[in-house]
Amino acid sequence: MIPLSWYLIFSAALFCIGLYGVLARRNAIAILLGIEVMLNATIINLVAFWRYRNPEPMHGQAFAVMVFAVAAAEVAVGLALIISIYRRRNTVVADDIDIMKW
Amino acid sequence: MATNTLIWLLPLFPLLAFFVIVLFTNRNKALSHTIAVGAALLSWLGSMIVFVRALQGGLPFEEAIDWIPLGETHFFIGVRVDQLTAVTLFFVAWTVLMIFIYSVGYHNFGQPKGDHDHKGLPPHGAKVTDQHGHVHAVPSIEPMYSRFFAFIALFAFGMYTLVVSDNLLTLFVGWEIMGLCSYLLIGFWFAKPSARAAAIKAFLTTRVGDVFMLLGIAYLYSETGSLSYNVIFSKHTLEKLTEPAGFLGMSIAGLIGLLLFIGTVGKSAQWPLHVWLPDAMEGPTPVSAMIHAATMVSAGVYMVIRMFPLLSVGWQEGGALTPTMTVMACIGAGTALFAAVIAVAQNDVKRVLAYSTISQLGYMIAALGIGAYVAAAFHLVMHAFFKALLFLGSGSVIHGMEHGVLHTGDHSVDPQNMFNMGGLRKKMPVTFLTFTIGGLALSGFPLVTAGFWSKDEILADAFGNGYWLAFIVLALAALLTAFYTARQITLTFLGEPRTKEAQHAQETKWTMTLPLVVLAVFAVAAGWVGIPEGLTGGAIPNWFHEFVVGTLPEYLPALEFNFLPMLLSMIIALSGLTLGWWVYREVKAGQPDPLAKLLGTFYTWMKNKFYFDELYDRLFVRPAYWLADTFTNKWMDRGVIDGFLHTVARVAFSMGGVLRNYFDLPVVNGFGDAVGEGTKSFGKKFRAVQTGKVQQYMLSVLVFAVGILFYYLLSLLQP
Amino acid sequence: MTIEKIIFLVIAAVTLGAAVMVVTARKLIHSALWLILALFGVAVVYGLLDAGFLAVAQVVIYIGAIAILFIFAVMLTRRVMNDTDSQNNQYWWVAAPLSVLLFGGLTWMLSSWQGFSTELPKLTPEAKSGMLKQLGQVLVSPDGYVLPFELASILLVAALIGAIWVAWDRK
């Protein structure tokens, strides 16, 4: 059988890849893509733990469903923001959106 | 009214008059003099009542209150009237009242205001047009009229306080008040530089005496613990004070007496502190009469008479004199002769009288010095009467002369110079008569004058107790006294007028001549209370002696009557008077003093008062000025003290500068600035962190998160 | 080496590869498409974990909605991005080691946890078949997760309204 460790390592790896994407990409949408990857990694982690630790009650899955909803909401709002910024500033490069500074 | 209460009130009437005049009635001349004379009248009345009651017996009247608490006891002050006080009150009350009344006329009350009179200068006269259109110059009223009455009222307060007090402290208080008033009154016409100088001279000279007197009082207090007469003259205290003081072999009492006597030397103008009295003639004549005849100088003698038990500790009647008494006798007799010699060569009518006062006071002090207690007191009372009379008379003469000066308009003529007078007996008869009576009393004209009896008693005492030197000196002084008195009367009243001013002299008003008459009565009659018993074979008792000797703790019998000194004094008086009249009867206008040619250089010395003023100036006055101006002012005050202050200021200033520049600015300001600037620059540098780039923020977060994570992991590794 | 393990390894490799391509693709549209593949892989993993509902939900929500949304967004903002330039920003050389480090750290941390290598607990077939019903009940029962469920729906509504408002073209 697959030990829990495999899933955990897998989700950790996915998380770190997503992190790299968030930190290293120029385009704001690409950053959002990275965030999505990270979110998915966490949901995998959740579900793995649910299955391996306490599979009878469905609490783990319920939690995962909540995370799904949140992720969806976040993507919607994020993309709306990017569209709005794109309309005003005519740019989607994250580095150019730096008004909130000194 | 109880006698004691009355005695307390005697000084109070003039004091109240002083305050009322100063505070309220200064503008109103009539009201001021009414209040002053009224107060003098009330005090006179009270004094007469006290005197009469004293005659009836029950002396001493005394009452003391506890004034200052001192530990367990109190310091008592109070009033005390014994026999000596009673006779003193008698003459003080009369002379003060007479002088107050005289002042009303002297200061020309009722006359118009002067044309150009200033406060501080003697009145100059006013031009008045009568109904015919003639312009007359008349005397004008004194501008500072009320002030004068206020001052003499205060003066009277001082004298009454001194006389009725029962302890040395209030005596000294009265003493000093009179000193102040004498300063104020001598310098009454303060715009005259000579008056100002005379006032200062009087005050400072008497002050020298007062310092020693205060020393004596302090010494007495420290030895006996009290200053009240009934304590210090008690047998027990006096015995205590016979112990030697360790100073020139004197007893403590003797030393105290000597110190107190020095106060009298100052106040009664004895040699060497006599220099102030002649200059004090700068004041108005009532002042001279009051201060220098009747009251203030008498106060000095009164004080030593009071202190006689202290001075004479260790002396028995007929025995050897104590050192203090010897000193007194020498100074008294010496001054008597010295002043009489100078008086012979003076031309100013008041100056002659001034030196005469000094001389007569010397008589009294010499009398006390040889132990003639009653004689000294007797002469004190008599002298007050006729000397006041003489001074007031001289004031009347001067007023008459000034009238002449105003008439002729020639202000260069000195109205006080006897050589400008002459023949005034015709123009001023009342003044002439009263002045002559006073002069005869001064000379000791036999039998009918008061001065004869008192002076004779002193001479008799000196003769009888064998003090030959004192007798000879005093007799010589008596001769000279008669001489200069006759000189004065002859030059002033007899003969023919030597100047136009004398021709136009006029008799003065009743307010001035009435006191003269009253005092003349006393000058004649007062002496009859002290006629020696032996003269009349016991028919007329020597009331004065019997009365006054009650003051002493032990009865001193009157001296055995001896005809010889009485005869001698009669001869001296008559020969002196005749000589004086004979030398001066033919002096015409413009002629010099006949004595000048006779005595030559010695006359110059006499006229210049033996140059004592110049000596004192060299010895004391100029060094004092040097001390004040150069030493204290320039060197000490400006040099040392100001220099010190300036240095302190400079040091403080430079320190301040240093502090400011080296500490305040760099450190304090610098710190403040550094904080501000540092924060700003730190902020500036730190701002760079906020780039606004989200990814950068996330990176920073992660770096630290990873760091913490690894730190945690590493810590896990350490077992 | 059981069959599950092999399946897992293959799926993991695919997913991780797709994820790498997501974050390194030069063209943005390619990133979005690689994302779809990665999401598929994740759905299969869900299936392996007996979370059937989640696998389907993943496909429907993530791939059917979110990924499509991404493609819309990419298309709407295509004019600006010059797809031939590098997509990496200036910090990529810090981010890369950091991610590796983080991965290493996480792994190490997890490995020191004693529950790291638990085996799969067995599930009876009855339990497996009743899981969906149980999940449904848990989500809507009052002593279950009805409150978080409702809140999540409110959140979605808010996000919806918010997104409309933010992105509204006000010209």
**Domain residue ranges of chain C, discontinuous segments joined by +:** 1-82, 125-171
Residues of A in contact with B685 (CB under 8 A): none
pLDDT single digits (tens) B204-226 = 999 999 999 999 999 999 888 88
Distance from the Cα of A95 to chain B's closest Cα (Å) equals 5
Which residue of C72, C109, C166 to mutate against A (max A Cβ within 10 Å)? C166
Task: Name the nearest CA neighbour of B174 among B378, B14, B337.
Answer: B14
Averaged confidence pLDDT in chain B: 86
The answer on pLDDT for A102 being more than 70 is no
Q: Which of A94, A99, A101 sits opposite B695 (nearest CB)?
A: A94
pLDDT confidence tier of residue B662, bands split at 50, 70 and 90: confident
Does C98 contact B696 at a Cβ distance shorter than 8 Å?
A: no
Residue C8: what pLDDT? 94
- β-pair type (B73-81, B126-129): unpaired
* Widest distance between CA atoms in chain C: 62
In sequence order, what DSSP letters do the residues of B557-591 get, joined into one string?
PPPPP-HHHHHHHHHHHHHHHHHHHHHHTT--TT-
Residue B531: what pLDDT? 78
Residues of B in contact with A94 (CB under 8 A): 693-695
pLDDT single digits (tens) C6-35 = 999 999 999 999 999 999 988 888 999 999
Residue C128: what pLDDT? 78
Does B695 contact A22 at a Cβ distance shorter than 8 Å?
A: yes
One-letter amino acid of B426: K
Which residue of B708, B710, B711 to mutate against C (max C Cβ within 10 Å)? B710
Does A47 contact C73 at a Cβ distance shorter than 8 Å?
A: no
Residue A94: what pLDDT? 84
- β-pair type (B135-138, B126-129): antiparallel
Residue range B651-672: average pLDDT? 87
Query: How many contacts, defined by CB atoms under 8 Å, are there between A and C?
Result: 256
Burial of B158 (0-12, 13-18, 19+ CB in 10 A): buried
pLDDT single digits (tens) C82-91 = 666 677 777 7
Residues of A in contact with C70 (CB under 8 A): 29, 32-33, 36, 75, 79
Residue range B50-79: average pLDDT? 84
Does C101 contact B716 at a Cβ distance shorter than 8 Å?
A: no
Residues of A in contact with C164 (CB under 8 A): 80
Residue B380: what pLDDT? 92
Residue range B315-329: average pLDDT? 81
The answer on pLDDT for B553 being more than 80 is no
pLDDT confidence tier of residue C100, bands split at 50, 70 and 90: very high
Q: Which of B696, B699, B713 sits opposite C105 (nearest CB)?
A: B713
Buried b (16+ CB within 10 A) or exposed e, B214-245: bbbbebbbebbebbbbbebbbeebbeebeeeb
Residue range B262-274: average pLDDT? 90
Measured CA to CA, the distance from residue B98 to residue B470 in angstroms comes to 35
Measured CA to CA, the distance from residue B159 to residue B156 in angstroms comes to 5
Of the listed ranges B9-23, B357-371, B382-396, B454-468, the least confidently predicted one is B454-468
Measured CA to CA, the distance from residue B599 to residue B604 in angstroms comes to 8
Residue B255: what pLDDT? 87
The answer on pLDDT for B530 being more than 80 is no
Tokens of A91: 């740019």
Q: Is B571 on the interface with C (CB under 8 A)?
A: no
Chain B residue with Cα closest to C90 = B696
Residues of A in contact with B702 (CB under 8 A): 19, 23
Kindly report whether the global pTM for this prediction surpasses the value 0.90: no
Does C167 contact A12 at a Cβ distance shorter than 8 Å?
A: no
CATH 1.10.1060.10 fits C1-82, yes or no: no
Distance from the Cα of A102 to chain C's closest Cα (Å) equals 20
pLDDT confidence tier of residue B357, bands split at 50, 70 and 90: very high
Residue B39: what pLDDT? 94
Distance from the Cα of B719 to chain A's closest Cα (Å) equals 24
Residue C114: what pLDDT? 75
Measured CA to CA, the distance from residue B44 to residue B97 in angstroms comes to 7
pLDDT single digits (tens) B108-133 = 888 888 778 888 888 887 887 777 87
Residue range C110-125: average pLDDT? 78
Query: How many contacts, defined by CB atoms under 8 Å, are there between A and B?
Result: 31
Does B699 contact C95 at a Cβ distance shorter than 8 Å?
A: yes
Which option is the CATH number for A4-96: 3.40.50.150, 3.40.50.300, 1.10.3480.10, 1.10.287.3510?
1.10.287.3510
Does C98 contact B699 at a Cβ distance shorter than 8 Å?
A: yes
The answer to whether C88 and C72 have CB atoms below 8 angstroms apart is: no
Which residue of B686, B694, B699 to mutate against A (max A Cβ within 10 Å)? B694
Q: Which of B696, B706, B716 sits opposite C102 (nearest CB)?
A: B706
pLDDT single digits (tens) B562-600 = 788 888 888 888 999 888 888 888 777 777 777 877 777
pLDDT single digits (tens) C29-80 = 899 999 999 999 999 999 999 888 999 999 999 999 999 999 999 988 877 6
Residue C94: what pLDDT? 86
Residue C69: what pLDDT? 92
Does C148 contact A66 at a Cβ distance shorter than 8 Å?
A: yes
Does C156 contact A73 at a Cβ distance shorter than 8 Å?
A: yes
pLDDT confidence tier of residue C81, bands split at 50, 70 and 90: low
Of the listed ranges A23-32, B20-29, B613-622, C87-96, the least confidently predicted one is C87-96
Interface of B with C in 687-716 (CB under 8 A): 695-696, 699, 702-703, 706, 709-710, 712-713, 716
pLDDT confidence tier of residue A31, bands split at 50, 70 and 90: very high
Between C90 and B649, whose confidence is greater? B649
For chain B, the helix, strand and coil percentages under 3-state DSSP, each to the nearest 5: 70, 5, 25
Q: Which of C51, C62, C87 sits opposite A47 (nearest CB)?
A: C51
**Residue in this structure with the two tokens 């299955």, named with its chain if needed:** A51
Percent of chain B predicted with pLDDT > 70? 99
pLDDT confidence tier of residue B392, bands split at 50, 70 and 90: very high
pLDDT confidence tier of residue B691, bands split at 50, 70 and 90: confident
Q: Residue B394: which residues within 8 A CB-CB, separation 6 or more?
A: B285, B349, B350, B353, B435
The answer on pLDDT for C111 being more than 80 is yes
Distance from the Cα of A55 to chain B's closest Cα (Å) equals 30
Residue C84: what pLDDT? 63
What distance lies between CA B414 and its chain's CA centroid?
A: 27
Of the listed ranges A70-74, B263-267, B506-510, the least confidently predicted one is B506-510
The answer on pLDDT for B719 being more than 70 is no
Q: Which of A57, A76, A90 sits opposite C80 (nearest CB)?
A: A90
Residue C85: what pLDDT? 67
Tokens of B140: 């004008």
The answer on pLDDT for B352 being more than 80 is yes
Measured CA to CA, the distance from residue B308 to residue B89 in angstroms comes to 19
The answer on pLDDT for B41 being more than 90 is yes
The residues spanned by each domain of chain A are: 4-96
The answer to whether B267 and B300 have CB atoms below 8 angstroms apart is: yes
Measured CA to CA, the distance from residue B84 to residue B415 in angstroms comes to 40
Residue B290: what pLDDT? 84
Residue B205: what pLDDT? 92
Interface of A with C in 10-29 (CB under 8 A): 10, 12-21, 23-27, 29
